[in-house]
């Protein structure tokens, strides 16, 4: 395991998983993009699950409660494409 060197730091691979990137477009056309590593659930088949939260664009809601009520959340499960060999996975 050779480390990735970034800004003098060494980063080692600790496991496998997914870091999906999502872009949400709001009704006024503004977008928010996030990339977040999701937690590996089953290391044998590399399933990963997670959740992300997107706040609405600034100025859309002046009341903090309305702003929180109109957040968008994405929750999901990512899995690699299955490779079938006969009838067994």
Is 9 inside a domain boundary? no
pLDDT grade for 8, boundaries at 50, 70 and 90: confident
Greater pLDDT, 9 or 86: 9
pTM, 2 dp: 0.63
3-state secondary structure (DSSP) of residue 17: coil
Query: How many domains would you assign to the chain?
Result: 1
Of 44, 38, 42, the C-alpha closest to 20 is 38
Residues with Cβ < 8 Å from 68, sequence gap 6 or more? none
Encode pLDDT of 29-46 as tens digits: 999 999 888 888 877 777
Evaluate whether 49 touches 40 at the Cβ level (below 8 Å).
no
Residue 11 belongs to a domain:
no
In a domain, 3, yes or no: no
* In the predicted structure, residue 63 carries a pLDDT above the cut 80: yes
Whether 45 is covered by a domain: the verdict is yes
H/E segment holding residue 68:
helix 64-69
Q: Which two tokens stand for residue 54?
A: 């997107």
The whole domain housing 27 covers 16-78
Assess if residue 60 is contained within a domain: yes
């Amino acid at each position: 395991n050779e480390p990735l060197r970034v800004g003098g730091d060494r980063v080692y691979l600790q496991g496998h998983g997914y870091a999906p990137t999502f872009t949400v477009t709001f009704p006024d056309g503004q977008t928010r993009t996030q990339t977040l590593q999701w937690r590996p659930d089953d290391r044998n088949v590399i399933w990963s699950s997670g959740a992300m939260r997107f706040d609405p664009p600034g100025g859309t809601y002046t009341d903090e409660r309305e702003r929180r009520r109109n957040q968008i959340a994405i929750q999901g499960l990512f899995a690699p494409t299955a490779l079938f060999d006969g009838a067994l996975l």
